[in-house]
Amino acid sequence: MAFVPLTADERQAMLEQIGVGSVADLFADIPASVRFPQLDVPPPLTEIQTVAKMSALAAKNQPVGQLACFVGAGYYNHYSPSVVSHLMGRSEFYTSYTPYQPEVSQGTLQYSFEFQSLVCDLFEMDVANSSVYDGASGAAEAVLMALRISRRDRVVLDGSVHPEHRAVVAAYLDGRGIEVVTTNVGIKDGKLNRQSVVEQIDGETACVVIQQPDFFGTIRDLAAIVAKAREVGALVVYVVGDPVSLGLLKTPGGWDADIAIGEGQGLGLPLQYGGPGVGIMTCKTAHLRQLPGRIVGQTTDHDGRRGFVLTLQAREQHIRREKATSNICTSQTLLALGATIYLAAMGPAGLKQAAGLSHKQTRAVADQIRRVDGYRVVNDGPFFDEITVTCPADGDTMRHELAKRGIIGGYALGREYPGLENALVLCATEMTTSEEIDRLVSGLREIGGAR
Amino acid sequence: MSRDRSEPLLSELSRPGRVGHLLAAPDACADATLDLPSELLRDDLKLPELGELDVVRHFTHLSSLNFSIDNAFYPLGSCTMKYNPKVNEDVARMAGFAGLHPYQPEETVQGALQVMLELQQLLCAISGFETVTLQPAAGAQAELCGMLLIRAYHRARGDTKRTKVLIPDSAHGTNPATAAMCGYTTVSIPTDAHGNVDLKRIKEEADDTTVGLMLTNPNTLGLFEQEILDVTKAIHDAGGLVYGDGANLNAILGAVKPADLGFDVLHINTHKTFSTPHGGGGPGCGPVVARGFLEPYLPKPVVARRASGDRAGELFLDWDRPESIGKLKSFWGHFGVMVRALTYITLQGDQGIRDIGEAAVLNANYLRKKLDDLYDVPFDRICMHEFVASGRRQKQQGVRTLDIAKRLIDFNIHPPTVYFPLIVEEAIMVEPTEAESKDTLDRFVQVMRQIAEEVETSPELIHDAPHDQPVGRLDETTAARRPVLRWS
């Protein structure tokens, strides 16, 4: 396919204007020994052929809908109203770029301001940026922020923070001489068994990172952790497990978090095999100047009309270079738009329903699994839309067996949590049907009975 | 004053009790909170209350307040704002791609893993490198990935005294920021009289404390580094590695493989070169290609094929990577962007790939030549896909580059990148891309010439620009001094 509109005559006229004999002459600065190499790329396909090829690849996958989805673990199969994809699909949004020129970018700037506002309302936090790459890099940026604010060099990570978030924090901190302490989580007497986070927080601690609902699905009373952090001057970095949970649950602001982050994919964005989603990042006003990434502010033009601009850019890499708060340059603007449309369309009533129905269906899953021999729900407190279940076989075998029955059977904990090889984290949402729950439970019964 | 085209905020459109979307009958989940202790519940949920049509009209109107590739020429230097084929969008939205959960069992996502594998192979073929990761979310995160790979390499050799990174003064700001994030110090290398990085200074600075060099080629002046082979050799001789910032890869597609120039690691802005729409500023996707000896350090997991066992031949995600730098983002990267990139490369094929670079460079040189009598071009030699002009002649007449940029808006042209790179006074950086026709370029030339004339005859017209936009020039100083970052 040709997306170059120049005709042969036009190319010739342009070369004459430039004063060179051929297009090849334009590349004379490239050393001759390596110029115009052989390219091991197949010849072009037509659009018809390309669509056929890609359709064939797509057909080798089984998306949710074909399969009953009982996995969450950071990415959630929540319903997205039709308006979300239709409005995100407007090319005036998706074929624009960073709003460097505010006069011709008020659409992008206004929805970014609205995204920040909605996130602040949802999280009950003071300020938000207009997104970072994902929840995990948000966690890493939050920890870096806490290190700058506290000028301390010790970080306490709760072991039930998403393993991928913890891994990204570790990669970002590597080589900086920071002590990272991660608490253990195991299973004892049929319940999750946690090493105390509170005891790990001391006067050297820059921040404690906690997640709610946590990776095992449990909702915990965080008061003691926050109180200890306050007592010793450590910051509380709060990871929101599933943003839809905030339709019901007490918020990061309600728990008095200093910095709160989360993966926003659950807010109406497609699963897309894990990306792109959108990283949400918020903090208290006192920490605003340490908040990395893009921030949109409201102002006025010379006639007093309201308008929006990128602001507080003096913290950023294009001005501060090696002294910047972060190297982050782009944001997830289009996905932030999707989340903004979702929250606008759902409103408080719709979001409460999404949260309530997700919780209700998960409760149904838990109730039924409790009646199946060989399985046990091991959460150490109330849960929202995920539960941790021990099984008669290891998690990978369970998932493989359930896949044969048309079911995505949860997240296997074994890789990240030695000792929990037989445990799965299962998730249900408002998309989960009773028929699917029946299918899951009979699948579990069959697999259990076969052992 | 122009017609008021402002759009109220969602909060201003809200009417208490209005409902936009219901998932079930209103009482269907009324009991959902019963088994959750009240101290774990929120008190109130304050979100705007709108009808579905309110939402549709609001965002449709906002979309009309934007410039975009689909409605305007967008010659934003260093951003490669080219046309993104619509079929990319159709393919990315296929349920077989859009509806996959990242933690599905591997046997249910063989097509997705094959997309990743094929894209990896093509990116290696185009760039000349042996290995690749698709995980980084964007160019800047890819820089971090690349520098962490380089550190892992030095560390594995026990070579721990290397702490300084050489970076040209024309580099993107992300380069020094990335080096600093890795805990390294940076040394700025000046640009020589021809617009190349100063080879002599590199030779002076490169020693056994040098981690490496971060270099963009073509550089941010739009010029190919004429002494590139000597530059990369100087770094290698000192034991350092060369990081390539691939932001400007579009220019040299098919003309040279960056690996052949002596780079050890390079990131590719997939969203630029391989045509994912820029989405108002994201998402991106920043694969990192590298030499084979850096393969053990790549982020995990990597896509691999099972060699044995009862599932031999199946693709899987290999987490068993003991020397890996770890993870940079959740899951496997921006898969939706990878699908678009593979679709685009499939459409282009070998011949199309080469034609992209050639046409991008032809277009840029044509514009440079047509404008160089009226606007200063500080490094006036054959450029690659973009060129940097200077508005210093116009500044002497009281019109700044920013004014020229704003005046272009009156002609329905998105302003070029301005005031970057920092080393060119009153910089105007123009990147037309290969996707634009000669007619569009000729119109841009005509408008730029008209503006140059207006600088002399009617400067007030330029100072007041833009004239018919939803808002005029905005007060950015107050926005930063007294930040209003959310509705009240």
pLDDT tens for chain B, 488 residues long, are: 456 789 999 999 999 999 989 898 877 777 777 789 999 999 999 999 999 999 999 999 999 999 999 999 999 999 999 999 999 999 999 999 999 999 999 999 999 999 999 999 999 999 999 999 999 999 999 999 999 999 999 999 999 999 999 999 999 999 999 999 999 999 999 999 999 999 999 999 999 999 999 999 999 999 999 999 999 999 999 999 999 999 999 999 999 999 999 999 999 999 999 999 999 999 999 999 999 999 999 999 999 999 999 899 999 999 999 999 999 999 999 999 999 999 999 999 999 999 999 999 999 999 999 999 999 999 989 999 999 999 999 999 999 999 999 999 999 999 999 999 999 999 999 999 999 999 999 999 999 999 999 999 999 999 999 998 989 999 999 999 999 999 98
Question: Is A301 near chain B, with CB under 8 Å?
Answer: yes
Under a CB-based contact definition with an 8 Å cutoff, are residues A173 and A223 in contact?
Answer: no
Question: Is B60 near chain A, with CB under 8 Å?
Answer: yes
The C-alpha of A315 sits at a distance from chain B's nearest C-alpha, in angstroms, of 11
Cβ of A42 within 8 Å of Cβ of B350? The answer is yes
Q: Which residues of A fall within a CB distance of 8 Å from B79?
A: 97-98
Q: Which residues of A fall within a CB distance of 8 Å from B252?
A: 27, 30
Q: Number of residue pairs across A and B with CB atoms under 8 Å?
A: 686
pLDDT at B26: 74
Residues of B (291-330) whose Cβ lies below 8 Å from A: 299, 319, 325-330
Question: Is B443 near chain A, with CB under 8 Å?
Answer: no
Q: 3-class SS at B34?
A: coil
Closest residue in chain B to residue A364, using alpha carbons only: B32
Closest residue in chain B to residue A24, using alpha carbons only: B358
Q: Is B397 exposed, middle or buried (0-12, 13-18, 19+ CB in 10 A)?
A: exposed
Closest residue in chain B to residue A3, using alpha carbons only: B435
Question: Is A363 near chain B, with CB under 8 Å?
Answer: yes
Cβ of A359 within 8 Å of Cβ of B125? The answer is no
The C-alpha of A449 sits at a distance from chain B's nearest C-alpha, in angstroms, of 22
Q: Which residues of A fall within a CB distance of 8 Å from B144?
A: 172, 327
Residue % of chain A over a pLDDT of 90: 94
pLDDT at A320: 86
- Locate A400 and state its tokens: 């493989």
The C-alpha of B28 sits at a distance from chain A's nearest C-alpha, in angstroms, of 8
pLDDT at B1: 45
Q: What is the pLDDT of residues A197-233, one digit of tens each?
A: 999 999 999 999 999 999 999 999 999 999 999 999 9
Cβ of A344 within 8 Å of Cβ of B20? The answer is yes
Cβ of B68 within 8 Å of Cβ of A95? The answer is yes
pLDDT at A317: 83
Q: What is the pLDDT of residues A93-120, one digit of tens each?
A: 999 999 999 999 999 999 999 999 999 9
Question: Is A379 near chain B, with CB under 8 Å?
Answer: no
Cβ of B45 within 8 Å of Cβ of A45? The answer is no
Rounded Cα gap, residues A250 and B438, in angstroms: 59
Cβ of B355 within 8 Å of Cβ of A274? The answer is no
Q: Which residues of A fall within a CB distance of 8 Å from B26?
A: 349, 353
**Between A107, A274, A409, which is nearest B62 by CB?**
A107
ipTM score here? 0.97
**Between A323, A330, A347, which is nearest B47 by CB?**
A347
Question: Is B34 near chain A, with CB under 8 Å?
Answer: no
Cβ of B69 within 8 Å of Cβ of A311? The answer is no
pLDDT at B3: 61
Q: Is B4 exposed, middle or buried (0-12, 13-18, 19+ CB in 10 A)?
A: exposed
Mutate which of A130, A249, A321 to disrupt the B interface (most B C-beta within 10 Å)? Answer: A321
* A37 pLDDT more than 80: yes
* A372 pLDDT more than 80: yes
Q: Which residues of B fall within a CB distance of 8 Å from A305?
A: 4, 6, 470-472
What is the 3-class SS of chain A, one letter each residue? CCCCCCCHHHHHHHHHHHCCCCHHHHHCCCCHHHCCCCCCCCCCCCHHHHHHHHHHHHHCECCECCEEECCCCCCCCCCCCHHHHHHHCCHHHHCCCCCCCHHHEHHHHHHHHHHHHHHHHHHCCCEECCCECCHHHHHHHHHHHHHHHHCCCEEEECCCCCHHHHHHHHHHHCCCCCEEEECCEEEECCEEEECCCHHHCCCCEEEEEEEECCCCCECCCCHHHHHHHHHHCCEEEEEECCHHHHHCECCCCCCCCCEEEEECCCCCCCCHHHCCCCEEEEECHHHHHHCCCCCEEEEEECCCCEEEEECCHHHCHHHHHHHCCCCCCCCCHHHHHHHHHHHHHHHHHHHHHHHHHHHHHHHHHHHHHCCCCCCEECCCCCECCEEEEECCCCHHHHHHHHHHCCEECCEECCCCCCCCCCEEEEECCCCCCHHHHHHHHHHHHHHHHCC
Taking each continuous run of H as one helix and of E as one strand, the counts in chain B are 16, 12
Q: Which residues of A fall within a CB distance of 8 Å from B380?
A: none
Question: Is B411 near chain A, with CB under 8 Å?
Answer: no
pLDDT at B27: 75
Residues of B (353-382) whose Cβ lies below 8 Å from A: 353-356, 358-359, 361-363, 365-366, 369-370, 382
The sign of the CA dihedral B319, B287, A242, A402 is negative
Closest residue in chain B to residue A250, using alpha carbons only: B42
Q: Which residues neighbour B142 within 8 Å (Cβ) at sequence distance 6 or greater?
A: B136, B267, B268, B269, B286, B287, B288
pLDDT at B98: 98
pLDDT at A118: 98
Question: Is A197 near chain B, with CB under 8 Å?
Answer: no
Mutate which of B23, B148, B163 to disrupt the A interface (most A C-beta within 10 Å)? Answer: B23
Q: Which residues of A fall within a CB distance of 8 Å from B38?
A: none
For residue B270, give the amino acid letter: T
For residue B113, give the amino acid letter: L
Cβ of A250 within 8 Å of Cβ of B277? The answer is no
Residue % of chain A over a pLDDT of 70: 99
Closest residue in chain B to residue A309, using alpha carbons only: B476
The C-alpha of B68 sits at a distance from chain A's nearest C-alpha, in angstroms, of 4
The C-alpha of A152 sits at a distance from chain B's nearest C-alpha, in angstroms, of 16
Residue whose C-alpha is closest to residue B419's, from B430, B428, B411, B410? B428
**Between B144, B279, B346, which is nearest A53 by CB?**
B346
**Between B83, B102, B382, which is nearest A75 by CB?**
B102
Mutate which of B474, B476, B477 to disrupt the A interface (most A C-beta within 10 Å)? Answer: B474
Helix (H) or strand (E) holding B111: helix B110-127
Question: Is A249 near chain B, with CB under 8 Å?
Answer: yes
Question: Is A317 near chain B, with CB under 8 Å?
Answer: yes
Cβ of A328 within 8 Å of Cβ of B46? The answer is no
Q: Which residues of B fall within a CB distance of 8 Å from A355?
A: 32
